[in-house]
Chains A and B, each alone.
Chain A
Amino acid sequence: MTETLTTAAAAGAVDATKIYGEGDSEVRALDGVTVSFEASRFTAIMGPSGSGKSTLMHCLAGLDSLTQGAVYIGDTQLATLNDKELTILRRTAVGFIFQAYNLVPTLNAYENITLPLLLGGAAGDQEWIDKVIDTVGLRDRLKHRPSELSGGQQQRVAVARALASKPTIIFADEPTGNLDSHAGAEILAFMRRAVTDLGQTIVMVTHDPNAASYADRVIFLADGKVVDEMVAPTADLVLDRMKRFGD
C-alpha cells in the first residue's frame, strides 16, 4: 500500500503520467496525477476540454495504460495484469456508464443488465439484482430490446448493468450528455441513491456543473494535473470554479 491511498480507497492513481506522441508533437495528457477515490463515495472529475479527465478515467478503468506511475483498483495495480486478467477485472470489479452506445442491441434489457455476469458465467446475486432493478424502476421493461426503450430508460439500464456485479468502483463518462435535463436529473438521482442507499462507489467525468452537484466531492483537472478539489459541491460553486479556468 502506498501511503497516499487511504485504507478506504476503492481506486486511485499515483504519479499517473500519460504521454501521447514523441518529441515536438509530445502531448502530456496526464502529468503526474495522484488521486484517491474513497469507497462509497460519489466523486466527479471536472475540467476543460483536453484537461485529461477522460484519459484519467480510461487509465483508472484499465482501458488504457499509463506511460509512468501506477493506478489501482482496490489493492490491484493494473500494470501487473495481462489483457485477460484486465478483462476479468473490468467484468467483476468495474462498472461502466458511457455517454451513449451503452447497450447491446441484440440483447433485451434484463440480459444487458446482467451482461457482465453472463460473460463471467456467474449467476450473480439475484436478490441484489432485483434490488438494483427496482431502484432504477425497470421492472416492467426487462423484456424490451434497447430499440424499444427511450434514451433515459436505456441509460437507466446502463446504470443497472454497472451496479449488477457489485463492482468495486463504477466509472461514468458524461452519463447524461445525451439526455434531456429531466431524464438526466433522473439518472443522476439514481446514481446518488446507488451511493447513498446501496453503498456503491462512483467516479463520474462531466463538464456539467449541475451534474457535478450530485457528487460528494469534485476534483478539478487542468493540463493533465489535479489543480483543485471541492467537497460538498453545489452547481453554483462548481460553475464559479470552472469559470476561473478561462483566466
Chain B
Amino acid sequence: MFKLALKGILARKGRLLLTSLAVILGTSFLAGTYIFSDTLTKSFNDLFADVFEDTDAYVRSSVVIDGDFGSEERQRIPDSLSAEVAEVPGVRTADPSVFGFARVVGKDGKPVGSDGNGPPTFGSSISPDEAFWTIDDGRLPSGSAEVALDAAVADDAGYEIGDTVKVVAQGGSREFTLVGIAMYGDVSSPGGATFALFDLPTAQSFVGRPGFIDAVVVTGDGSLSDDELADRIQAALPADSQTETLTGAEITKENQSSIEEGLSFFTIFLTAFSFIAMGVACFVIYNVFSITAAQRQRENALLRAVGAHRGQITRAMLLESVVVGVIGSLLGLIAGVGVSIALKSFLGVIGIDFPSTSLQLLPRTVVLTVVLGTVVTVLSAVLPALRTGRVSPLAAMRESAVEHVGSSRKRILSGLIFGAVGVVAIIAALAGPSFVLLGVGVLLVWVGVLILGPVLALVAAKVIGTPVARAFKVTGRMAQGNAARNPKRTSRAAAPVLIGVALVTAVALLAATLKAQVREIFSEQFVGDYVVKTNDFTGFGGLSPDLADQLNEIPEVESAAGIGVKLAEVDGRGATVTLVDPVTVGEVFDLHLTGGSYADLSNESMMVSDKKSSDDDLNIGDVLTVNLTGLGELPLTIVGTYSSDELAGGYVVNRGLYADTSGSYFDFSVFINTASGVSASQAQAAMEPLVEQYGSGELQSRSEYIDDQAASINTLLALIYGLLALSIIIAAVGIVITLLLSVYERRREIALLRAVGMTRGQVRSTVRWESVITSMLGAVLGVVLGLFSGYLLVLSLRDEGVTVFSVPVLSTIVILAVAFFVGVIAAVIPARRATKVDIIEAIATT
C-alpha cells in the first residue's frame, strides 16, 4: 500500500506541484522573514564588532532617562574627564566623543534622509585616531568651517570634496566646507543613518554643548586586561562624577543588543504577517485535498473493492500530504531566500543600506519552515483523509466527484451557535473591557461565518450570480450554477479571500477612524495659521529653538510658538513631557485650561493634564520631581491643569528650562499665528526664507498641516496593506487551484458544451464568472466581517481617546473592486485550460 501510494503521488507530478504551491507560498514568507532578520542581525553584530575592535574601555555618564517605549536619553559628561581618563596608568589613548542630532541639507535645499520614523541623522566628532570612522577620501575636518560626511550621504546628495555643505543642528544652520569622506567599519553608513563629522570643539558647539562630551573612548597600552582597565579608570574618576566605564566587549554587546531589540519589532511584525499568510494557505491546502479526495473517489473505491481497508486509504492520503508538505516547505525555503533578498533590496530602495554579509540560513530556519510547513499540510489533510477512508466500495460505480454537504440544518445551527457565543463574548468584553475576550469573541464570530460558508455560498451564488446570469445569459447562468453545485468547495475557496479582505477592511476602518480622530484633535486644539513642521517626535532632533525666536521678530508674524518633546522621569517614572513657550503657546494652541494660566509657567513650575491629575491625585500646588536630560532633577510646582491632552500629553513644562544648559533641545515644530491684515501670500513670503535657512523644517498652512498629520497614518497603512496583499495573493492562488481541479473534473461537461456549440470565449466566460462569484463571496463577507471587527476595535479604543468612527467608503469600494479583478485574473489559467479540453477524448469515447 505504501508503495502504491508513492507511485500514485509520483504519477501525478502536476497535481503534486499544484498542491505544493499553497504550501510554498505559505512557508516562503516565513522563511524569508527569518533569513532576512538573521542576516540583518549578523551583519550588525559584525559591524559593531569591527567598529569597537580597538576600543578597550568606554566611559560615559551613568545618568540615563528611560522614557516610554524603551527609549532612553543619556546625560553628557564634562570634557575635563577625558584628560583625567588619559592620566590613568594602562591607558594609551582617551578620545573624547560627541554625538547628537544634525541633518545634512542637500544641494536642492532639502534635508537629506527622513526625519521621524526613518534612520536617524547624526552629527558627531571624528577622532584623529579614526577610532570609529576612517577617512576614505580627503582628510580629517579641522576648525569650525570644515566637515566630513559619511560616504553614503555624500553620494546621495552628490557632494564632493571642496563643496560647501549646509548642516542643521541644535546650533542652528551653518555652512561648512567638505574636506573628507568617511567610512564606518566597512560600510558607507551604518543602518542608513547619516553622519556629519566635525572636529571636537566644532562638534561640541554645533551639535552638543561647549565643555561637554558624550563619552570617552579608551584604548589600553596592553598591560591590563579590558576588565582591569575599566575598573581602574572607574576607580580613578571622582565618585560624584556620575560616570560608568564599560569594557570594549560590553559596549559592543550593548550596541548589538540594542540594534537587535530595534529589529525585533520589525521581525515580530513580519512574522505575524507570515503566520497570517500560513493560516490562509491552510484553507487552500485543505480545499485542495478535499477536492482531490472527491475526485479520486472511484479510484479509492476500486482499491476498497479489491481489498484495501479504510486505514490504508486514509494513510495513503496522509502519506501524500507528508510528501506534499516536505516538498512544498523545501521549495518554500528556497523561495524564502528570494523573499529575503527582495526585502533587503526593498529597504535598499528606500535608503536603508545594510552591511554586506552572506545570507544567513540558520538550521533553526530550515527546521522551523519544514516542520511547520509539513505539520500544517498534514493537519489540513487529516479531515479529507478520514473522509476518503469512509468511501464505500460501491462508489466506484458512481461517475463524478460529488462532495456531500453535511446536513445543512446541523451546519446552520452550529454556525449560528458559534456566532451567537462570539457576540455574547464581545458584548461582555465591551461591558468590562477585556481585549482577550474581545479577540475570542471576534474569532468565534469568524468561525461561525466560516462554518456557515457553504450555506452562504448558496445564497451568494444566488445573489451575486443573478446579475451575472442576467448580464451574461447562458455563460453567467452556468457560472452561477457551477458556483452553487459544490457549495463547500466554493466556500473553502472563498475563505482565504474572506480572511484577507476582512483584515484589510478592519485595518482600513481603523485607519479612517484614526485619521478622522487626528483631524478632529488638530482642528480643535491647533488654532494658529501656519506650522513649520518636522516629523521628529523623539526629542532627538528637530528645529533649532532660534527659528521660533527669529520668526517672532518679523512683523508678519503675530506669534510663533516653538514646541518640543523630551524624555523625562517624573517622580521616578519614565514619561514624555511637552515643552512650550508660555508667552506664545496660548496664541496657537487651545489645550482647554481647567486651572491656572500659561503665564504662571516659569522655570520652577509645570502643568499636568486633568487625566494625570485625577489618575495620580495631583493638585495645583503639588510639587513633582522632574528629571530632564542635561538638567538633572528639578522640583517643579504644578500651577495649572488642562483637559485636551491628545497633543500635549500628561505634562507641560517651560522650554526656557533648556536655555544655557548642557542638554540638547529642539522644537519638533513651530506653530504660527500671522498678524491680522497680513495676506497668506505675504506671510508665506516673509517666513519662507527663514525656514529655508534652517533647512530641516517644512512650512505648511493650517489646512495643509492637518491634512499632512492625518496622512501620516498612510505610511503604516501602506506597509500593512503590502503585507496583507500576500494573503490576497495566496487566496487568488487558492481560487486558481480550485478552478483548475474543477475544470479537470468537469472536462466531459465542457466537452459536451463545446460539441453542442459553445465557443472558446464562452467557455472562458463561464470559468471567469464562476471565479468572480467565488472571490466576491469572500470579499463581500470579508468586508462585512472586517467592518464589524474594525468597529469593535474602535469601540474598544474608546478609553484610549478614540471618540469618532469613520467608515472607509472609498477603501471598501476599492477592496471590492480589487476582489473582482482578483476573480477575473485567477480565472485566466483555468479558463485557458478549459478551452483546451479535447472534445473527443473527454466525451465521445465512452
Q: Enumerate chain A interface residues (CB-CB to B < 8 A).
A: 54, 58, 61, 63-64, 83-84, 87-88, 90-92, 96, 98-107, 111, 115-116, 118-121, 161, 173
Interface centre among A64, A99, A115, by most chain B C-beta atoms within 10 angstroms, is: A115
Q: Which residues of B contact A115 (CB under 8 A)?
A: 474, 753, 756
Distance between B841 CB and nearest chain A CB, rounded to angstroms: 10
Q: Is B845 an interface residue (CB 8 A)?
A: yes
* CB–CB A119/B755 < 8 A: no
Q: Is B757 an interface residue (CB 8 A)?
A: yes
Distance between A159 CB and nearest chain B CB, rounded to angstroms: 13
* CB–CB B844/A54 < 8 A: yes
Q: Which residues of A contact B749 (CB under 8 A)?
A: 101, 104-105
Docked Cα-Cα span, A161 to B755, in Å, equals 12
Q: Is B477 an interface residue (CB 8 A)?
A: yes
Distance between A96 CB and nearest chain B CB, rounded to angstroms: 5
* CB–CB A87/B754 < 8 A: yes
Give the bracket for the number of chain B residues in contact with chain A.
20 to 34
Q: Which residues of B contact A116 (CB under 8 A)?
A: 756-757
* CB–CB B485/A105 < 8 A: yes
Q: Is B224 an interface residue (CB 8 A)?
A: no
* CB–CB B840/A102 < 8 A: no
* CB–CB A120/B757 < 8 A: yes
Docked Cα-Cα span, A111 to B758, in Å, equals 14
* CB–CB B477/A58 < 8 A: no
* CB–CB B755/A63 < 8 A: yes
Distance between B355 CB and nearest chain A CB, rounded to angstroms: 59
Distance between B295 CB and nearest chain A CB, rounded to angstroms: 16
Distance between B831 CB and nearest chain A CB, rounded to angstroms: 16
Distance between B484 CB and nearest chain A CB, rounded to angstroms: 7
- Provide the B323-350 mask, 1 if CB < 8 A to any CB of A, else 0: 0000000000000000000000000000
- Provide the B758-777 mask, 1 if CB < 8 A to any CB of A, else 0: 11101000000000000000
Q: Which residues of B contact A96 (CB under 8 A)?
A: 755-756
Docked Cα-Cα span, A54 to B840, in Å, equals 10
* CB–CB A106/B757 < 8 A: no
Residue in chain A with minimal CB distance to B754:
A87
Q: Which residues of B contact A121 (CB under 8 A)?
A: 473
Docked Cα-Cα span, A92 to B473, in Å, equals 18
* CB–CB A119/B752 < 8 A: no
The B723-761 residues at the A interface (CB cut-off 8 A) are 748-749, 752-760
* CB–CB A119/B760 < 8 A: no
Q: Which residues of B contact A107 (CB under 8 A)?
A: 477-478, 481
Docked Cα-Cα span, A99 to B846, in Å, equals 8
Pairs A-B, 8 closest by C-beta atoms: A91-B757, A106-B481, A118-B474, A90-B757, A87-B759, A101-B748, A116-B757, A119-B757
Distance between B845 CB and nearest chain A CB, rounded to angstroms: 7
- Provide the B472-494 mask, 1 if CB < 8 A to any CB of A, else 0: 01100110111011000000000
Distance between A120 CB and nearest chain B CB, rounded to angstroms: 7
Interface residues of B: mostly helix, strand, loop or mixed? helix
* CB–CB A90/B478 < 8 A: no
Interface centre among A100, A118, A173, by most chain B C-beta atoms within 10 angstroms, is: A118
Distance between B466 CB and nearest chain A CB, rounded to angstroms: 14
Distance between A153 CB and nearest chain B CB, rounded to angstroms: 17
* CB–CB B762/A119 < 8 A: yes
Q: Is B843 an interface residue (CB 8 A)?
A: yes
* CB–CB B846/A119 < 8 A: no
| With contact pairs A58-B840, A106-B485 given, residues A118 and B473 touching in the complex (Cβ less than 8 Å) | yes
Distance between B103 CB and nearest chain A CB, rounded to angstroms: 66
Distance between A217 CB and nearest chain B CB, rounded to angstroms: 23
* CB–CB A106/B474 < 8 A: no
Q: Is B839 an interface residue (CB 8 A)?
A: yes
| With contact pairs A63-B839, A88-B759 given, residues A111 and B477 touching in the complex (Cβ less than 8 Å) | yes
A-B contact pairs, 6 of them (CB 8 A): A58-B840, A90-B756, A98-B843, A107-B478, A116-B757, A118-B474
* CB–CB A101/B485 < 8 A: no
* CB–CB A106/B478 < 8 A: yes
Distance between A15 CB and nearest chain B CB, rounded to angstroms: 22
Q: Enumerate chain B interface residues (CB-CB to A < 8 A).
A: 473-474, 477-478, 480-482, 484-485, 748-749, 752-760, 762, 839-840, 843-846
* CB–CB A63/B760 < 8 A: no
| CB contact between B845 and one of A54, A91, A106 (< 8 Å): that residue | A54
Q: Which residues of A contact B757 (CB under 8 A)?
A: 87-88, 90-92, 116, 119-120
Distance between B93 CB and nearest chain A CB, rounded to angstroms: 85
Docked Cα-Cα span, A103 to B845, in Å, equals 16
| With contact pairs A106-B484, A118-B474, A121-B473 given, residues A100 and B756 touching in the complex (Cβ less than 8 Å) | no
Q: Which residues of A contact B755 (CB under 8 A)?
A: 61, 63, 90, 96, 98
Docked Cα-Cα span, A173 to B759, in Å, equals 22
Docked Cα-Cα span, A198 to B760, in Å, equals 32
Q: Which residues of B contact A84 (CB under 8 A)?
A: 759-760
Docked Cα-Cα span, A173 to B839, in Å, equals 14
| CB contact between B752 and one of A98, A106, A111, A120 (< 8 Å): that residue | A98
* CB–CB A104/B753 < 8 A: yes
Interface centre among B474, B760, B839, by most chain A C-beta atoms within 10 angstroms, is: B474
Interface centre among A83, A104, A173, by most chain B C-beta atoms within 10 angstroms, is: A104
Q: Which residues of A contact B480 (CB under 8 A)?
A: 106
Docked Cα-Cα span, A111 to B473, in Å, equals 11
Q: Which residues of B contact A99 (CB under 8 A)?
A: 846
Docked Cα-Cα span, A7 to B411, in Å, equals 64
Q: Taking A87-B754, A119-B753 as given, write out 4 further A-B residue pairs in contact, using a Cβ cutoff of 8 Å, ordered by the A residue number.
A: A92-B757, A96-B756, A98-B846, A116-B756
Distance between A223 CB and nearest chain B CB, rounded to angstroms: 19
* CB–CB B844/A119 < 8 A: no
Q: Which residues of B contact A102 (CB under 8 A)?
A: 752
Q: Which residues of B contact A100 (CB under 8 A)?
A: 846
* CB–CB B477/A63 < 8 A: no
Docked Cα-Cα span, A106 to B749, in Å, equals 10
Q: Which residues of B contact A118 (CB under 8 A)?
A: 473-474, 477
Residue in chain A with minimal CB distance to B762:
A119
Distance between A7 CB and nearest chain B CB, rounded to angstroms: 27
Q: Which residues of B contact A91 (CB under 8 A)?
A: 756-758
Residue in chain B with minimal CB distance to A57:
B844
Residue in chain B with minimal CB distance to A115:
B756
Residue in chain A with minimal CB distance to B835:
A83
Distance between B478 CB and nearest chain A CB, rounded to angstroms: 6
| With contact pairs A116-B757, A119-B474, A119-B762 given, residues A104 and B844 touching in the complex (Cβ less than 8 Å) | no
Interface centre among B755, B762, B843, by most chain A C-beta atoms within 10 angstroms, is: B755
Q: Which residues of A contact B760 (CB under 8 A)?
A: 83-84, 87
Residue in chain B with minimal CB distance to A162:
B756
Distance between A83 CB and nearest chain B CB, rounded to angstroms: 7
Q: Which residues of A contact B756 (CB under 8 A)?
A: 90-91, 96, 115-116, 119, 161
Docked Cα-Cα span, A119 to B759, in Å, equals 8
Docked Cα-Cα span, A88 to B754, in Å, equals 10
Interface centre among B754, B758, B760, by most chain A C-beta atoms within 10 angstroms, is: B758
| CB contact between B844 and one of A63, A83, A103, A105 (< 8 Å): that residue | A63
Distance between A10 CB and nearest chain B CB, rounded to angstroms: 18
Docked Cα-Cα span, A99 to B480, in Å, equals 27
Docked Cα-Cα span, A83 to B762, in Å, equals 13
Docked Cα-Cα span, A102 to B399, in Å, equals 14
Q: Which residues of A contact B482 (CB under 8 A)?
A: 106
Distance between B253 CB and nearest chain A CB, rounded to angstroms: 68
Distance between B773 CB and nearest chain A CB, rounded to angstroms: 13
Docked Cα-Cα span, A207 to B760, in Å, equals 33
Q: Which residues of A contact B481 (CB under 8 A)?
A: 104-107
* CB–CB B758/A119 < 8 A: yes
Q: Which residues of A contact B748 (CB under 8 A)?
A: 101
Residue in chain A with minimal CB distance to B484:
A106
Residue in chain A with minimal CB distance to B759:
A87
Q: Which residues of A contact B484 (CB under 8 A)?
A: 106
Q: Which residues of A contact B759 (CB under 8 A)?
A: 84, 87-88, 119
Docked Cα-Cα span, A83 to B761, in Å, equals 11
Q: Which residues of A contact B752 (CB under 8 A)?
A: 98, 101-104
Q: Which residues of A contact B473 (CB under 8 A)?
A: 118, 121
Q: Which residues of B contact A106 (CB under 8 A)?
A: 478, 480-482, 484-485
